């Protein structure tokens, strides 16, 4: 068995490139294109397998606590394989289309607006069962990293500065 991350980040060529919009000391903004253009990305997974319609953005953004990717599946296409993670939990946001999600052999329908959380050990896959492209956003992060002290209500600080547009 090989590491998905290692396979996906070594020696790959992308049909469509991620473009940097703007960056500064405390931010980076990029684009992978419109949802309709996500299908133009390609991610080789090995000598005989290329994942079409998949793009990782973490490296381009310089993320330090999560990885994120967009993927588009054409009607009838599935994610290509079941997979698990060693330490990463994942959130799958269905942005367009509809399909069937599978975790540990259980299948359930998903469509635009659905969000699925999968623990590291969950054996997961997604299939487009609709008539249109299915586009999803996946965010992966280290499981069990947040505590009760990490509430967004206590971590954020509202600044006493005017907005400047």
The per-residue pLDDT for 15 is 61
State in words which class domain 6-145 has: mainly beta
Whole-number percent of the chain with pLDDT over 70: 91
The per-residue pLDDT for 10 is 43
Of all helices (H) and strands (E), which one includes residue 51?
A: strand 49-52
pLDDT digits (tens, 9 = 90+) for 97-148: 999 999 999 999 999 999 999 999 999 999 999 999 999 999 999 999 988 8
The per-residue pLDDT for 57 is 95
152 vs 66, residue with greater confidence: 66
- Spatial distance between the Cα atoms of 73 and 140, rounded to a whole number of angstroms: 19
**Weakest mean pLDDT among 11-20, 62-71, 101-110:** 11-20
Of 139, 97, 106, nearest to 124 by C-alpha is: 106
pLDDT digits (tens, 9 = 90+) for 28-37: 999 999 999 9
6 pLDDT more than 50:
no
Q: What is the DSSP string of 76-143?
A: T-B-SS-B--SSEEEEEEEEESEEEEEETTEEEEEETT-EEEE-TT--EEEEE-SSS-EEEEEEEEET
- Spatial distance between the Cα atoms of 115 and 104, rounded to a whole number of angstroms: 17
Say if residues 97 and 132 touch (Cβ distance below 8 Å). Answer: yes
pTM (2 d.p.): 0.83
């Amino acid at each position: 068995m090989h590491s998905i991350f290692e396979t996906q980040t070594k020696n790959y060529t992308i049909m469509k490139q991620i473009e940097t919009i703007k960056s500064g000391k405390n931010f980076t903004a990029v684009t992978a294109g419109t949802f309709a253009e996500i299908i133009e990305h390609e991610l080789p997974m090995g000598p005989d397998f290329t994942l079409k319609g998949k793009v990782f953005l973490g490296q381009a953004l310089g993320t330090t606590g999560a990885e994120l990717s967009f993927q588009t599946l054409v009607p009838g296409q599935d994610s290509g394989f079941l997979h698990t993670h060693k330490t990463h939990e994942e959130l799958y946001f269905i942005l367009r289309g509809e399909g069937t999600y599978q975790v540990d052999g259980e299948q359930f329908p998903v469509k635009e607006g659905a969000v699925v959380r999968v623990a590291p050990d969950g054996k997961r896959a997604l299939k487009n069962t609709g008539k249109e492209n299915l586009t999803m956003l996946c965010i992966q992060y280290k499981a069990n990293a947040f505590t009760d002290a990490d509430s967004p209500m206590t971590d954020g600080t509202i600044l006493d500065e005017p907005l400047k547009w």
